């Protein structure tokens, strides 16, 4: 009679332990959920902080205008640092007795080309930033909750843009500084302090216009790279989902984003290409048509400014071609996905119908089926799902086929007034530029014998 109470006590202890285990599991889940929510809030705060850093940089350089006063300050800074100071320093250089070591036409063309490129960058980017705002301009606010899985990648891309800007501005700044130091050391001067002041002013002006022009190119590079994140995720979406409507909606949204990017940057890309091309051809004409000797002192600024202009243009063309290539590559991924799903569906369809096919091919089996009324009923019953399965299979097949044809007919990409910026267009631009260069060289260079 004493055994049952002992078992009851043990059972109660086990139940209490089990309930405590459940409570601990719930507490652990709550702690994990709290940790995840804290991590999400941390990423949100970090993303907001990173975007704010980008906004502060653009505001400091005069791209981001929040009032009429900021517009006036940006315009005054450009006119003073980008135009007035270099022209004034060139006049002081002429009056200091070293004009014979400088070619004034070269210097004026360099100032004009750099000022034009910086002015185009400021005008185009600041207009769009004032119209849309920084978060809408780089498509951070548009996705809303759908940006949650990509916050870390967004933070990484924006941070990389700061490092990328520093990576190009710093070497160009050192190159310009080295050229000015060489001029101070090897050229005769009436006043050393005047020469140092002129060089420092020229370095400040040159750094300003270089940073402005490269920043505009890097902003375009950043906007495209943020969209590339979603194009890469789209390829993974084909592996996870099977609903064609989901693929269509996501692709339509991505294509709309590319259309917005093309519309916002087409004027800037076109003007940048024209300014850089005209500047390089003027440089080529002046250097080949000059009868004297060109050294690092009188022609060093040509090299520095050409590097900046070509780097900015190449960066924009490379980024546009990259995202166009990703957009056009979606059709090949979808075709492969369609082929794999079709082959897999065919195999499963054949496996599911193999038993009925074997029965139809075996005479004994058919005799057995005909002699049994219940078997005939079951055959009649099975025929309906087979037709339904075939209809469902054909319906999904036609949906996938229509989706693939839609992608092939709408490749997408960055466009400039209808011209898609892809590798084919870049090759065309390269050979046109090469033809013009060879034409100019044929008109300016003269080879004499003896």
Give the three-state DSSP class for 362: coil
272 pLDDT more than 90 = yes
Kind and range of the H or E run holding 419: strand 419-420
What pLDDT score does 266 carry?
94
What pLDDT score does 53 carry?
94
Rounded to an integer, the average pLDDT of 209-233 is 94
Q: Which residue has the higher pLDDT, 4 or 404?
A: 404
What pLDDT score does 105 carry?
78
Confidence of residue 30 (pLDDT cuts 50, 70, 90): low
40 pLDDT more than 80 = no
Using one digit for the tens of pLDDT, what is the confidence trace for 360-383?
Answer: 434 333 334 343 444 434 334 334
Query: φ, ψ for residue 97 (rounded to 5)?
Result: 90, 15
Distance CA 272, CA 116 (A): 9
Rounded to an integer, the average pLDDT of 412-433 is 89
Strand partners, 420: 415
What pLDDT score does 99 carry?
52
Distance CA 135, CA 94 (A): 48
Which region among 225-239, 279-293, 370-384 has the lowest average model confidence (pLDDT)?
A: 370-384
Q: Which residue has the higher pLDDT, 92 or 428?
A: 428
Give the three-state DSSP class for 293: coil
Using one digit for the tens of pLDDT, what is the confidence trace for 160-203?
Answer: 999 999 999 999 899 889 888 888 887 766 677 888 888 899 99
Confidence of residue 120 (pLDDT cuts 50, 70, 90): very high
Confidence of residue 97 (pLDDT cuts 50, 70, 90): low
The share of the chain scoring above pLDDT 90, in percent, equals 35
Average pLDDT, the chain: 78
What pLDDT score does 26 carry?
53
132 pLDDT more than 60 = yes
Task: Spell out the residues 6+ positions from residue 146 whose beta carbon is closer than 8 angstroms to its own.
Answer: none
Whether 275 contacts 116, CB under 8 Å: yes
213 pLDDT more than 60 = yes
Print burial letters for 60-96: b (CB count within 10 Å at least 16), e (below 16): ebbbbbeeeeeeeebbeebeebbbebbeebbeebeeb
2 pLDDT more than 50 = no
Using one digit for the tens of pLDDT, what is the confidence trace for 236-264?
Answer: 887 776 778 888 888 899 999 999 999 99
| Residue 144 DSSP label | G
Confidence of residue 66 (pLDDT cuts 50, 70, 90): confident
326 pLDDT more than 50 = yes
| 37 CA to centre of own chain | 29
Rounded to an integer, the average pLDDT of 60-70 is 89
What pLDDT score does 159 carry?
94
């Amino acid at each position: 009679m004493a055994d049952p109470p002992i078992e009851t006590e043990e059972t109660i202890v086990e139940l209490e332990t089990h309930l405590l285990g459940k409570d601990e599991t719930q507490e652990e889940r709550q702690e994990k959920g709290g940790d995840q929510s804290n991590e999400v809030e941390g990423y949100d705060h970090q993303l907001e902080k990173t975007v704010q850093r980008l906004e502060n940089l653009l505001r400091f350089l005069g791209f981001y205008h929040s009032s009429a006063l900021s517009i006036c300050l940006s315009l005054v800074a450009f006119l003073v640092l980008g135009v007035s100071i270099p022209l004034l320093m060139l006049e002081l250089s002429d009056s200091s007795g070293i004009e014979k070591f400088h070619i004034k036409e070269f210097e004026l063309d360099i100032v004009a080309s750099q000022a034009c490129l910086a002015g185009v960058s400021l005008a185009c980017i600041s207009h769009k930033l004032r119209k849309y705002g920084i978060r809408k301009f780089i498509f951070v606010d548009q996705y809303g909750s759908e940006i949650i899985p990509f916050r870390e990648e967004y933070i990484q891309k924006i941070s990389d843009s700061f490092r990328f800007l520093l990576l190009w501005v710093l070497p160009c700044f050192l190159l310009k500084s080295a050229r000015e130091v060489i001029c101070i050391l090897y050229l005769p001067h009436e006043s050393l302090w005047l020469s140092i002041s002129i060089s420092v002013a020229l370095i400040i002006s040159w750094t300003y216009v270089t940073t402005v022009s490269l920043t505009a190119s890097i902003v375009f590079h950043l906007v495209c790279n943020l969209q590339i994140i979603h194009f890469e995720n789209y390829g993974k979406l084909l592996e996870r989902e099977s609903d064609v409507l989901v693929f269509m909606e996501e692709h339509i949204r991505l294509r709309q984003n590319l259309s917005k990017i093309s519309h916002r940057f087409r004027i800037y890309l076109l003007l940048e290409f024209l300014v850089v091309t005209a500047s390089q051809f003027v440089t080529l004409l002046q250097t080949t048509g000059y009868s004297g000797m060109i050294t690092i002192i009188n022609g060093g600024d040509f090299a520095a400014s050409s590097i900046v202009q070509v780097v900015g243009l190449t960066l924009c063309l490379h980024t546009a071609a990259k995202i166009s290539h990703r957009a056009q590559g979606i059709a090949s991924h979808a075709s492969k996905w369609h082929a794999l799903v079709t082959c897999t569906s065919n195999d499963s369809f054949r496996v599911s119908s193999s038993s009925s096919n074997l029965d139809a091919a075996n005479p004994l089996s058919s005799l057995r089926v005909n002699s049994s009324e219940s078997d005939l009923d079951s055959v009649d019953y099975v025929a309906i799902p087979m037709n339904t399965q075939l209809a469902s299979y054909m319906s999904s097949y036609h949906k996938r086929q229509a989706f693939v044809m839609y992608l092939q007919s709408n490749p997408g990409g960055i466009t400039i007034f209808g011209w898609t910026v892809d590798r084919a267009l870049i090759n065309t631009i390269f050979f046109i530029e090469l033809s013009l260069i060879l034409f100019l060289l044929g008109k300016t260079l003269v080879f004499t014998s003896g």
